[in-house]
Amino acid sequence: PPPGEQPGFWRAAAELAVWNFGAQGMLNAGLLFTDATRASFLTQTSVVLTPVVSALAGERPTPAVWVGCALALVGVVVLSVSDSGAAMASHAAAGGLNLGDLLCLGGSLSWSMYIFRVGRIARRGLAAGPLQAWKNVFLTLLYGVWLLVDVARVGPGQVYTLWAGWSNAVAWLLLAASAVFPGTLADYLQNRGQKSVNASEANVILSAEPLWAALLSSIFLSEVLSIKAWIGGCFIIAAAVISSGILPFHKLTKLAE
């Protein structure tokens, strides 16, 4: 049947939009109340939250997946950590969780739910392309509501103050390009890939995003990869290899015992 007539198609598209909106929206809102360094660390907890969500839903992540998730978390923390030891010490000394921290954690949990549900929905055989397209339509509607709330807050005559560069054509082109390629294409490929990859393993693979950013910056912006980038990258690669099941992890575990 046509995608729109597949059982559960519209509900699945709307659900994915809600989880995606929660992940991005709560992170953006959280940055109003906490600093970017804390937000960066807190959002990486998704790597650990995803297997927890999977386990609560009745799935049984393997020991290799748990080890991979832990290594991936270490890797993204190493990649994201500030070069300033003093700055990190001050953040650590601050202690406690503020409203922004809780929002960032909520966004991380929402992202874990999104990854988990993408896998479940993908295995139901719903058409990946139309599903992601309509998810983005619903997501646009949700952000439209957010925009209306902001317009009501600042007043219709002051809407332009929400984005100083709204009249820049180049900025709009860059936004469109990022929506089509890193956005839509990535969504489609993730949906197809998670038909055969469980949510926890998928999140480990997706945690390589900072590593790819560092490598692309080195290629296109001539930035030099730091020791920190190499170390974090090695942790993430090791995490992906272990969680994928390529290595006979269960045999290594028995030997260790």
pLDDT at 85 over 50: no
pLDDT at 6 over 90: no
Its pTM surpasses 0.85: no
d(CA 143, CA 92): 34
d(CA 42, CA 44): 5
Q: For residue 40, what pLDDT is reported?
A: 73
pLDDT at 214 over 80: no
Q: How far is CA 26 from the centre of its chain?
A: 12
* Residue position matching structure tokens 């966004």: 107
pLDDT at 21 over 70: yes
Average pLDDT of every residue of the chain:
80
Q: For residue 16, what pLDDT is reported?
A: 95
Encoded tokens for 243: 């969680």
Q: For residue 116, what pLDDT is reported?
A: 92
What one-character-per-residue DSSP string does 66-116 give? HHHHHHHHHHHHHHHS-S-HHHHHHHHHH-S--HHHHHHHHHHHHHHHHHH
Q: Please say whether the beta carbons of 172 and 200 come within 8 A.
A: no
Range in 43-47, 77-81, 109-113, 204-208 the model is least confident about: 77-81
Side chain identity, residue 123: R
Q: For residue 168, what pLDDT is reported?
A: 87
Range in 63-67, 127-131, 187-191, 242-246 the model is least confident about: 242-246
